[in-house]
Amino acid sequence: MNSIYQRALGEEFDDLHPKMQRRFGFTSEDGVAAIGRGTMEYVRNGGLYTLPFLAVGATMHTMFPEESTAVPFTIRNYAYEDAYGRETVTWLRTFELPRERHFDAAMIYSEERDRIVDYLGKRHHLAVDVDVGVSDAGGIELTTGAQRLYAFGTGIDFPLVLSATANVHEWYDEAADSYRIAVRVTNPVVGLVFEYSGSFDVEWIDCETAPDEVRPVSPTRGE
């Protein structure tokens, strides 16, 4: 079985750094999970206008309003087959701030949309199209596009002017012998909404399937 990222990248997957190929190449058939631990050099918000939006996001396990430096960070990536038979990869990020904050998501490869779709939050309330590419550093670049808000089983197109676009770059830094990640979320009206950057190491653990605690409260069927 090819991973969802292999499917999205096609032959470009071979251009990823070998460490990145392993990190983005495992599937639910491999019986492993990747647990990353490290430090974010900074976590920032976009200023006063973004704080109400980020405060709401914090309740849904997406973004949050706090700013800090040298923030202990964990990311848990499990691959599993969801309740609808779709290969799914979790992105469960924990930031050790005075109040622990979470940024949860899970990705699938949508046959219908012919691309990766990212479900955000602990209830997967927001589905986001994702474009995937390979950077010059042999890292992976993820850029979000069209978004759909799901409520009562119905998807509603969510205009980007009321939401945000995320750019994620993850790569392997050979000099530091660690993974690096930079995430920047922007809005066409207010500019910067949220960003963080730092590094982490990955531990591979045996895992037959994702534990119930990392699965969404109510997975969304729509794509």
pLDDT at 124: 81
Tokens of 7: 């499917």
pLDDT at 210: 85
The model carries a pTM of: 0.92
Nearest to 94 by CA among 77, 111, 109: 77
pLDDT of residue 217: 66
For the record, the structure tokens of 10 come out as 């096609």
Q: Which two tokens stand for residue 135?
A: 């950077």
What pLDDT does 219 receive?
62
Measured CA to CA in angstroms, residue 44 lies from 48, 70, 176, 181 at distances of 12, 12, 24, 14
Residues 81, 6: Cα–Cα separation, whole Å: 17
**SS3 state at 23:** helix
Q: Which residues pair with 179 in a beta bridge?
A: 172, 200
CATH topology for 4-214?
Answer: Lipocalin (2.40.128)
Q: Determine the Cα–Cα distance for residues 78 and 24; give it in Å rounded to an integer.
A: 11
Eight-state DSSP code of residue 138: S
String of b and e for 150-177 (b: at least 16 CB within 10 Å)?
beeeebeebeeeebbbbebbbbbeeeee
Task: Output the pLDDT for position 156.
Answer: 72
User: Could you tell me if 37 and 199 are in contact, meaning their C-beta atoms sit under 8 angstroms apart?
Assistant: no
| pLDDT score of 81 | 92
**Phi then psi dihedrals of residue 205, to 5 deg:** -120, 150
Q: Within a 10 A sphere around the Cβ of 18, how many other Cβ atoms?
A: 11
148: phi then psi, degrees, rounded to nearest 5: -135, 130
Which ranges of the chain have pLDDT less than 50? none
Question: What tokens appear for 202 in the block?
Answer: 């990955």
